[in-house]
Amino acid sequence: MPTINGYILPGIGFLLLILLLFKPSFIRQGFSGPAAQHAPLWISLAIGLLIGGLAQRSGFCITGGIRNFFLFREKTLFSGVVATFVSALMVSLVSGQFNLGMEAQPGAHHSHLWSFLAMVLVGLAAVIVDGCPFRQVIKAGEGDVDAGITCFGMVTGAALVINWQLRSTSAGPVFNGKIATLLGLIFCLTVILSYRKARVKR
């Protein structure tokens, strides 16, 4: 693969940052809903660079950590997952934003089955692309083209979920969202089984 390919995704990210800073008229910015829920730009960049650097050096990956722990009893990556959970918990407690349970949580609902199936879908997709969504972002920043394509897929998927009203609300998952989840599970299982059969034939 040509070396120049490694600069494509970071270059696109830098271009998006320039567009964000100069706010040209053809870029629409949301002021309500999910699009408006973000930290100040420079704080986001600083913390993102810090966390990204630490994750890149440590090889942090939620999917890889769980896989290694249960399959190989290797605890290095899994300890990072535990540390991340504990850190997030402590920050929530200190900032007064901790709320145990499903009540008054953004997008939270009591349809536990569909929450479980949605996370199964995330896990299966992460196994297929060899890394959790967070790891894909880190690899894309390193210049991994495959991870970059995966990130574009995640962004596109998020846009479709919001624009097509597929996301759950506090009232529960919507019908179209359930269909999308089932289709995603069928697709991922088909890919996994097809790959398994191909390896068996070899």
Query: Which pLDDT tens digit goes with each residue over 126-152?
Result: 888 888 888 898 888 888 888 888 988
Task: Note the pLDDT of residue 146.
Answer: 87
Contact 168, 109 (CB under 8 A): yes
Helix (H) or strand (E) holding 148: helix 145-163
Q: Look at residue 24 and give its three-state secondary structure.
A: coil
Q: Examine the pLDDT at 197 and tell me if it is beyond 70.
A: no
